[in-house]
């Protein structure tokens, strides 16, 4: 480090533009970046959010289906047909109030229905959507 003639080292740091400007500008720029990242909204692309929503909905459907099966048993609430692991995909969870987002943990909004009885409960179009969205296997 070279100090300008006739000035003491302590004042030189601020009084000597050629030395001071470069590093200070760099520091300011660097310290601004993380601050901007924190104050603005999270940098998540819309596509990721949609995908996250789909994954969440699928995971939630799996969760409440398993809970409903555990609470109400592997049996159709209407025709009393019983199910086993190899045909369990035919047993679906019906939402009594029709709201798939209403999933009280005590199972009070769920009814286990076989696909045939479930079809009775809904119009065919709604059930087709319901099944294709929830169970990709068939």
69 part of the interface to Zn ion, by CB under 5 A: no
C-alpha span between 111 and 120 (Å, rounded): 13
Q: Shortest Cβ distance from residue 35 to Zn ion (Å)? A: 50
Residues in CB range of 121: below 8 A, 6 or more apart: 94, 113, 127
**Measured between alpha carbons, how far is residue 111 from residues 1, 13, 55, 97 in Å?**
79, 76, 23, 10
For residues 108 to 137, the per-residue mask of contacts with Zn ion, x marking binding by CB under 5 A and - elsewhere, is ------x--x--------------------
C-alpha span between 123 and 44 (Å, rounded): 38
Q: Shortest Cβ distance from residue 94 to Zn ion (Å)? A: 3
From candidates 94, 103, 109, 110, binder to Zn ion by CB under 5 A = 94
79 part of the interface to Zn ion, by CB under 5 A: yes
Binding residues vs Zn ion (CB under 5 A): 76, 78-79, 94, 114, 117
């Amino acid at each position: 480090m070279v100090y300008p003639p006739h000035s003491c080292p302590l004042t030189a740091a601020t009084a000597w533009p050629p030395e001071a400007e470069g590093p200070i500008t760099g520091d300011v720029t660097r310290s601004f970046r993380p601050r901007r990242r924190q104050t603005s909204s999270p940098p998540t692309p819309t596509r990721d959010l949609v995908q996250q929503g789909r994954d969440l909905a699928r995971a939630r459907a799996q969760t409440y289906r398993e809970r409903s099966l555990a609470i109400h048993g592997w049996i159709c609430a209407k025709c009393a047909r019983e199910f086993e692991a190899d045909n369990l995909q035919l047993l679906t969870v019906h939402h009594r109030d029709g709201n798939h987002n209403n999933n009280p943990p005590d199972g009070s909004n769920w009814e286990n229905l076989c696909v045939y009885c479930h079809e009775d409960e809904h119009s065919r179009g709604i059930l087709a959507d319901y099944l294709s969205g929830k169970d990709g296997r068939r």
